[in-house]
Amino acid sequence: MHFTPLPYLDPGSGSFIIQIAIAALLGLGVALRASWSKIKKVFGVKPRSEDEESDSDDARH
Amino acid sequence: MPGTRQLSASFRDPGGFLFTDHGILYRQINRAYAQDYARLVDSGLYDKLVKAGLLIPHVEVDQAPAVADAAFKVIQPERVPFISYPYEWSFSQLKDAALATLSIQKRSLKLDMSLKDASAYNIQFVRGRATLIDTLSFEVYKEGEPWVAYRQFCQHFLAPLALMAYSDVRLSQLLRVYIDGVPLDLACNLLPAKTKLNFGLLTHLHIHAGAQKQYADKVIVPRKGGMSRQALTGLIESLESTVKKLTWKPAGTEWGDYYENTNYTDSAFEHKRQLVKEWSAEKQPALIWDLGGNTGVFSREAALAGGFTVSFDIDPAAVEQNYRTAKTKKEQNILPLVLDLTNPSPALGWDNGERDSFNARGPADMALALAVVHHLAISNNVPLPQLATFFAARCKWLVIEFVPKSDSQVQKLLTSREDIFCSYTREGFEAAFSGRFAIHKSEAVRDSERMLYLMEVK
């Protein structure tokens, strides 16, 4: 039976691989969103403002 | 160098470390970190984060470095009034710390930098806000590189938050055992199966844990440029929306009824409030510890004198409510924390030197011990002289309430145990505390059998 003692097991490799796989999928979502807002722009729909301050509001008082 | 002392919490970072000199806290930045530090400042990221209250401000100073041959610069960061740890935070505190970390990472990426750590210990509550205190956490972003702190973020934030939200809020205490965050396989074993239906938890916890197991004994050579910036943005946004959706509300507890379950009248309550306010104003303590602070009603009276007040309680629901109140009212000098006084936070980590014990973070200028002595003396069986010794080591001034045996709350505690507490009387209490304190004031709380004392340590 294959056995690797606990001190030599590193969860880092799995984290690395899965991050790239998950992110590739999630990146598609970001790309689709960007294309969609470009299409909307062609039809004169204003994109939602994504200014710097808005992304901190939840962590802020 | 004589007079300087390197702090043991920052030994891992080759970029620099914290040290004190004559009581002032400094951070030495090593030459190895010079390029990243320059980018942090020159890109405007430092200013943006400080302005947003997300990063601790600092000034560059002319202080001699503690280790001269490696030194690039010495900075003096603003001092945090009280250092707290994630196992002392309520659900919303940990959630806000997680969201602050992700917000910093998003802002960093826009300016071509990235966080190399996502440790919950790098976040502290400053002016009521979750704030990054490690100025050396940033590195220049390299196109195509994955987020090096992804695993740490999942272990320090996502796994404990999911456990608190879906399994039991007390599982935040796992952070006290696992100093680098909750191992993902353990978290997944404890989480209910329905969390696999949540896309964020399925991917970042369950599938992530499975991949860790599968590749645990394999050496992976990272492929350069394997992850686009778009993919990285998607990853951060996904973590953010997963965290935002996690909620916790204590089951079976009605918000706000904590003080309705007491046995004393409104006038006794008001009298106690008034005495706490008066005595705090008189002594002007800079740091106040409210030990057994519940939802923080008396902490707020004490804080009116302007001191920084840490409001400790054993009940995570009370601490959660206290934090929400502080957040809503934008209070900057109240810090609610979860603490079991009968088993307070120990010193943790390498050489027991990375996280300070509760005791080592004192003493406070003033401690409040209201309606708490009977729990310690009767439920936890601590003899009164030992209680006096405990409080004498924690503070200079002590506002303490004695609740006599005849009080119905104490009677409740005695129904399930034999009354072996023959010295638990007002006289016994005063005699025990007189050994360690000078009793300056003693007032009978109106419409009650309780006594309130103002004492000064001898």
Are A14 and B231 an interchain contact pair (Cβ–Cβ within 8 Å)? no
**Residue that wins the pLDDT comparison between B305 and A4:** B305
Residue showing tokens 């994955």: B146
Q: What is the DSSP string of B108-145?
A: HHHTTEEES---GGGEEEETTEEEE--TT-EEE--TT-
pLDDT of residue B249: 85
Phi and psi angles of residue B26, each rounded to the nearest 5 degrees, phi first: -125, 160
In chain A, residues with a C-beta closer than 8 Å to the C-beta of B231 are 20, 23-24, 26-27, 30
pLDDT of residue A8: 67
pLDDT of residue A48: 60
Report how far residue B337's alpha carbon sits from residue B316's, in angstroms, rounded to the nearest whole number: 8
- Do B339 and B314 contact (CB within 8 A), yes or no? yes
Element of type H or E holding A41: helix A12-42
pLDDT of residue B216: 83
Chain A: nearest CA to B96, how far in angstroms?
5
In chain B, residues with a C-beta closer than 8 Å to the C-beta of A56 are 52, 54, 100, 103, 107
Tell whether the model's pLDDT for residue A56 goes beyond 60.
no
With CA atoms as reference, report the closest residue to B234 among A37, A54, A31, A39. A31
pLDDT of residue B290: 98
Are A27 and B234 an interchain contact pair (Cβ–Cβ within 8 Å)? yes
pLDDT of residue B391: 98
| ipTM of the complex model | 0.77
For residues B362-377, b (16+ Cβ closer than 10 Å) or e, as one string? bbbbbbbbbbbbbbbb
pLDDT of residue A52: 47
In chain A, residues with a C-beta closer than 8 Å to the C-beta of B242 are none
pLDDT of residue A55: 47
Q: What is the DSSP string of B399-414?
A: EEEE--TTSHHHHHHH
pLDDT of residue A61: 44
> Tens place of pLDDT for every residue, chain B, 458 residues?
556 788 877 778 889 999 999 999 999 999 999 999 999 999 999 999 999 999 999 999 999 999 989 999 999 999 999 999 999 999 999 999 999 999 999 999 999 999 999 999 999 999 999 999 999 999 999 999 999 999 999 999 999 999 999 999 999 999 999 999 999 999 999 999 999 999 999 999 999 999 999 888 877 766 666 889 999 999 999 999 999 999 998 764 544 455 555 666 789 999 999 999 999 999 999 999 999 999 999 999 999 999 999 999 999 999 999 999 999 999 999 999 999 999 999 999 999 999 999 999 999 999 999 999 999 999 999 999 999 999 999 999 999 999 999 998 898 888 888 888 888 999 999 999 999 999 999 999 999 999 999 999 99
Are B208 and A59 an interchain contact pair (Cβ–Cβ within 8 Å)? no
Cis status of the peptide bond prior to B363, with omega within 30 of 0:
yes
Are B237 and A30 an interchain contact pair (Cβ–Cβ within 8 Å)? yes
Tell whether the model's pLDDT for residue A60 goes beyond 90.
no
In the three-class reduction of DSSP (H, G, I as helix; E, B as strand; rest coil), residue B369 is classed as strand
